[in-house]
Structure 1
Amino acid sequence: MRPLKIGILNVMHDKEATNHRFSHVLQIAQIPVDLNYYYPKLHYQNRPVPKEVASLLQPLNLQQVKTFDAFIITGAPIEQIEFADITYIQEVRELLAILRANVPNLLFVCWGGMVAANYYYGINKATFNNGHKLFGVFPNQIVAPDPLLNGIADGFLAPHARYAELKHQEVAKISDLAVTAQTDNEQLFSMRSLNGQENYLFAHLEYDRYGLRDEYQREIAAHPERFYKLPLNDWNPQTDQTPFSWQETQQIYYRNWINLVAQNLNN
């Protein structure tokens, strides 16, 4: 079998770490993959592309995307910004249209899931009250069948890190979507389209052991004047202990997804 051709639109701040994390989890299934990492060209429309971005990512090529077996849109630390105010939103929307028409396996992570659900179904995102951030490792419950959750035990732990999510009452109106797992407090973990093409993952399951710690340190370095909560149930700065409590779930989930992509290729 030829390598699976997978595109990734990387809109995270820590682009090198994000590339590394997805390269790791997408090879867990030990099925050959050809990974192509992109940045949105409109993000740099009025300024030079930074050297570190150009060295890691390609400019998004919408014609090339049509030939892929699967595509991922990553999270982005911009969930508090209205979609219309994002400089590259039109490019992302063009990408989403092409993906739905041409690519059989789609995975939208965190903000990527919010923007996809908004474009495809008109679902609005909402920031948590008082600027609250859902930040830490939390137990999750499976609420509907999902092939990507096969082999994962109910109550599984996963890292969440976001200031917003989709409005549940709007998701419930969409007959083509099913929420498949959520936290004990009903914050979204995952949902999927009933035809199986679209998978939405709102937790940062691609994060390694230090993902939440690194996100916290990046935020306080960027804005030392602000107060940020430590990630709950994760990194302890006094002991520098960082449990990797979602490692097995990470391995099973991404193995399931890659196997699904390979299965669809062979059908």
Structure 2
Amino acid sequence: MSVKSLQIGVLNLMHDKAATQTDFRQVLQNNRYPVQLHFYYPTMHYLDRPVPAEVQRIARPLKLAEVAGLDAFIITGAPLDQLDFEQVTYLPELQELFKALKQVPQRLYLCWGAMAALYDQYQIGKEILPQKLFGVFPQKIIQPNSLLAGLPNGFWAPHARYADSNRRQIEADPQLAVKAVNQDGRLLLVQNQAGNETMLFSHLEYQAGSLVAEYQREIMAHPKRHYRLPINQAGREFAWKHTQKVFFTNWLQQVVATIKDGGLIYG
């Protein structure tokens, strides 16, 4: 039997794509399981304009045939919370991607990516929140889950979104289970019953300064609007560091466990 790296694809939809890719490289570094990351961008997003040079430098166009051969795949968040899904220019490409991902052993969807996956595959709607959920919050474990193993009730996680998937619809779907929520009952972790699709509503890939950087980016883009600073940030600039390490270590272990029957040894 041979030793090989885990092949993990990432569809990077975030505003600051370079910083996002640095974040994922950092959180998925693992001495036990070597990882090779493949970063993609949706081609339909650039049908009417050139692909920016920076995007071309750090990622490549999404190719579904290539994706289908990977060990795991991640779809990041995106600054699209307040748009209807049908308004997203590359939604048809995402829908084709979700079909291709059924062949990929493990899929992880973050924030808006989680909302899009639930909408496309389970017809779960999303709700615009009264105000942005923004800051660092304690979390409540509802059901034991291997991805949360090693974390106590009340562990910290960052949230940064204007919308949430409909929790009532999720709980009414026998294919899905809510595993953890924040202190106010907003979603943190949802998983399908097979355990190969994970919807994470927290930006656990964020680093210590990421929430403040997001705040500054928003006020620079819309200086006449009022934006709140992230809640609970003071004194907790990286309160989710332990959560981040535990979650992504557990997720890589889950990837390995899912594909181990293929006869390959990882790390």
Which range, TM-score by smaller chain? over 0.9
RMSD of Structure 2 on Structure 1 (CA): 1.0
Question: Would the aligned equivalents of 1:69 and 1:261 in 2 still touch at CA under 8 Å?
Answer: yes
TM-score (norm 1): 0.95
CA contact (8 A) 2:136 2:236 kept: no
CA contact (8 A) 1:8 1:72 kept: yes
Q: Which residue of 2 aligns with 1:121?
A: 122
- Distance in 2 separating the partners of 1:39 and 1:258: 23
Distance 2:119 2:67 in 1: 21
Aligned-pair CA distance for 1:172? 1.2
Change in Cα spacing, 1:220 to 1:28, as seen in structure 2 (3 Å) is farther
* Aligned residue in 2 for 1:79: 81
Candidates 61, 66, 69, aligned match of 1:67: 69
Aligned to 2:238: 244
How far off its partner does 1:265 sit?
2.0
Gaps (5+ residues) in structure 2?
262-267
Instruction: Report the alpha carbon displacement of residue 103 of structure 1 after superposing the two structures with TM.
Output: 0.4
Q: Is the 8 A contact 1:29 1:258 kept in 2?
A: no
Q: Which runs of 5+ in 1 are unaligned?
A: 236-240
Hey, what does 2:250 align to over in structure 1?
256
1:153-197 C-alpha deviation (Å, 9 max, x unpaired): 110010000000111111111101100000111000101011011
Question: Secondary structure of 1:196's partner?
Answer: coil
Give the percent of matched residue pairs that are identical in Structure 1 and Structure 2: 45
Q: Deviations over 1:75-108 (max 9, x none)?
A: 00111001101000000010001102x1010000
SS, match of residue 118 in structure 2: helix
* Consecutive aligned runs of 4 or more in structure 1 exceeding 3 Å deviation: none
In 1, the alpha carbon distance for the partners of 2:95 and 2:237 equals 37
Give 1:249's aligned amino acid: T
How many residues are paired up? 259
Q: Cα 1:186–1:35, aligned 2, differ >3 Å: closer, same or farther? A: same
- 2-structure distance, mates of 1:104, 1:66: 9
* Equivalent position of 1:5 in the other structure: 7
Matched residue of 1:160: which SS? strand
Q: What SS class does the counterpart of residue 128 from structure 1 fall into? A: strand
Classify 1:93/1:210 alpha carbon distance in 2 versus 1 (closer, same or farther; 3 Å).
same
Q: SS at 2:29's partner residue? A: coil
Letter matched to residue 90 of structure 2: Y
